[in-house]
Amino acid sequence: MTDPLYALDRWLLLAANRHHTPRLDAWMVFFTERLVWFPAYFVLLVVLVYLYGRRARLLLPLLGLSVLLADVVSSRVFKPFFARLRPCHNPELTAALNLVNGCGGKFGFLSSHAANSFALAVFVALVLPARYRVAKVLLLGWAALVSYSRIYLGAHYPSDVLAGALLGSALAWACATAYSRLAARWWPQPRS
């Protein structure tokens, strides 16, 4: 008897992976590559330094901490603990998958790409003022697209990606809360 949640996970994975075209394959490989995003990360850091001035000395380390924790916890704690094979390493699935970008490490639960991208996006979305609504939507959309690319490419089950997004979001929330509390204590707003 098959676990219904695993069956749903597998069905969603295969549905995403089977709807491919060469052009879409290229875009998904682009979105999943970490190095291609470094120029965008640099621009984001410059914008945050510009917007936050001296507060950036606190904000940037906490942003970095949220991403670092997401990466370490997902890669060094969850993956070895659960030891769940990636779909592309699962002998029952490999023949059915369109693998245009290789496979990656042996274990997949949970997705480090999803954890890292959501840690960055959620942290910045939480600390930016409300007037930057479009930037927040773009960041969260980027994190969702990076995460979806992992399913499309057969590197992760949807539950791997969902769990990674939740982990990254929770760590981002914790670090953003720490930023808000420490910034209010160290740089109080003048009373009017």
Band of pLDDT at residue 1, cut at 50, 70 and 90? very low
Q: By C-alpha distance, which of 176, 178, 147 is closest to 164?
A: 147
The total of other beta-carbon atoms located within 10 Å of residue 40's CB is 10
- Closest Cα to residue 118, out of 141, 89, 135, 96? 141
Top-ranked range on mean pLDDT: pick from 45-54, 80-89, 112-121? 112-121
pTM (two decimals): 0.91
Write down the residue that tokens 């992976």 correspond to: 17
The Cα diameter of the chain in Å comes to 67
Q: Which domains does the chain have, with CATH numbers?
A: 4-186 (1.20.144.10)
CB 110 within 8 A of CB 74: yes
What's the pLDDT tens digit per position in 54-83?
A: 999 999 999 999 999 999 999 999 999 999
Whole-angstrom distance, CA of residue 111 vs CA of residue 161: 5
* Per-residue pLDDT at 126: 97
In the predicted structure, residue 102 carries a pLDDT above the cut 80: no
